[in-house]
Structure 1
Amino acid sequence: MEISYWKSRWRKGNIGWHMDHVFPPLTAFWSALALAEGTTVLVPLCGKSPDLQWLADLGHKVVGVEASGKAIKEFIAHSPESFTRTERYGYPIFESPSITLWQGNFLSLPTQATGPLDAIYDKASLVALPPDTRPQYAHKLLQLCGSHTQLFLQTFEYEQEEMNGPPFSVPLSEVQTLFGNHFTIRLLQEESRLAEVQKFQQRGLSSHFVEKIYHLYTS
């Protein structure tokens, strides 16, 4: 799926993945990372998620990357912080004291752009990508990681043949293939969401739909 697909969905307001409230597993399990104030958290494919502000309010330096200018504009409009616009590496950048938003293709982001990262928060990012793009995405994440970087990762598991993505099914075996050589993978939560996704059932989903939350860290 090309960036034009996602930009089109933002223009049309077809953003069913967006949550107007902070992602509950984030508030429940973020403390597992034991990050201090002032540490830097990357949020790829961030949209206009309120999770950005929640992380900033904890005292983190938050770096978001989003292709849609509309999403960034709407986030800024609702943020209590003031942003200024600059540009680096050909990317428009919007900065406040605690949040930096890069507008453009995450997969092309220069590895030196973000600076040292303490954590990466992936909610609805890996699962938004088709199978042939996920290795490239994971490679970019690993390029941006330092020796101590941790990942907070959301995935879904279901019978892929029942429904076309996105979101796509990303089983544990694939998480291990993409990240297992670099991280210890710890399952924080596993919950059935089938009763909550009637729209997916209308697309053919029938057997199961499980959300998993992982903490990836270096041993």
Structure 2
Amino acid sequence: MEISYWTSRWKKNKIGWHMQEVYPPLVSYWNRLELNAGDCILVPLCGKSKDLGWLARKGVKVLGVEVSKVAVNQFFSEMKMAYTKKKSGAFTIYESGNIQLWQGDFFKLKPSRLPSIDAIYDKAALVALPLKKRREYAQLVLQYCSPSTPMLVSTFEYPQDEMSGPPFSVFRDELEELYGNRFNIELLHEESVFEKLSKFQRRGLASYLREKIYLLEAE
């Protein structure tokens, strides 16, 4: 999707993907990332997710990347957090405590500008992108990974011909294609959300909708 699509959705407050609570599988499985206090977790396409604050309260450094200035400002406003900001290349970095939000185009993020990344939390970032962009996204993500950097990745599976994304359908074989050369891929959680997310039925989805959570660890 073009950047204008996402910035327009935020400006119009059409953000049906935003959750008003912390993502339950993050609470259940985040310890599988085996992070220590002070470690840094990268959260691509983070929006104003409640997960950012939850992770920060666990004592890790949170580095979120989000293209929408509206989303970033709303995050700090809703969290009632004061922040500083500075420019770094094509990004504006908003910082408060152990949270940094890099406002700008994720695809312009340069690994050389980032601190060492100890884990990556992909909460519906991959599924927000069409196929060609997913491949580009994964290539960038791999540049931020050391041989020991784990990833927690959420996906949706459904017949793509029944509904246009986002969110797009991403099956395990695509994860294997994108990341299988570097990571072991373990399915942690799977559930049907067809009834729970009935809004997708109004968009044409008629068969099934499964949500899956994967842990990617270096071989």
TM over 0.5: yes
TM-score range, shorter chain: over 0.9
Gaps spanning 5+ residues in structure 1: where? none
Q: Residue deviations 1:145-175, cap 9 Å, x none?
A: 1121110000000000000000000000000
TM-score (structure 1 length as normaliser): 0.98
Rounded to whole Å, the distance in 1 between the matches of 2:80 and 2:71 is 16
Rounded to whole Å, the distance in 1 between the matches of 2:23 and 2:180 is 25
SS in 2 for 1:191: strand
Q: Residue deviations 1:19-59, cap 9 Å, x none?
A: 01000000011111221111100000000001000000000
Deviation at 1:74, TM superposition (A): 0.3
Q: Which structure 1 residue ranges, 4+ long, deviate > 3 Å from structure 2?
A: none
- In the alignment, is the contact (CA less than 8 A) between 1:40 and 1:116 conserved in 2? yes
Deviation at 1:113, TM superposition (A): 2.1
The aligned counterpart of 2:165 is 165
Rounded to whole Å, the distance in 1 between the matches of 2:150 and 2:166 is 25
Rounded to whole Å, the distance in 2 between the matches of 1:33 and 1:191 is 21
Please tell me whether residue 117 in structure 1 is matched to residue 117 in structure 2: yes
The 5-angstrom pairing of residues 80-119 of structure 1 reads: 80-119=80-119
The aligned counterpart of 2:3 is 3
Deviation at 1:126, TM superposition (A): 0.3
The one-letter code matched in structure 1 to 2:117 is L
Please tell me whether residue 218 in structure 1 is matched to residue 218 in structure 2: yes
TM-score (structure 2 length as normaliser): 0.98
Q: Residue deviations 1:55-103, cap 9 Å, x none?
A: 0000000000000000000001122542101111131111112001111
SS in 1 for 2:155: strand
The one-letter code matched in structure 2 to 1:112 is S
- In the alignment, is the contact (CA less than 8 A) between 2:90 and 2:108 conserved in 1? no
The 5-angstrom pairing of residues 33-72 of structure 1 reads: 33-72=33-72
Gaps spanning 5+ residues in structure 2: where? none
Kindly tell me the number of residue pairs found equivalent between the two proteins: 219
The one-letter code matched in structure 2 to 1:90 is A
Please tell me whether residue 78 in structure 1 is matched to residue 97 in structure 2: no
SS in 2 for 1:196: coil
The one-letter code matched in structure 1 to 2:65 is V
What percentage of residue pairs aligned between the two structures are identical? 51
Rounded to whole Å, the distance in 1 between the matches of 2:20 and 2:114 is 26
Please tell me whether residue 144 in structure 1 is matched to residue 144 in structure 2: yes
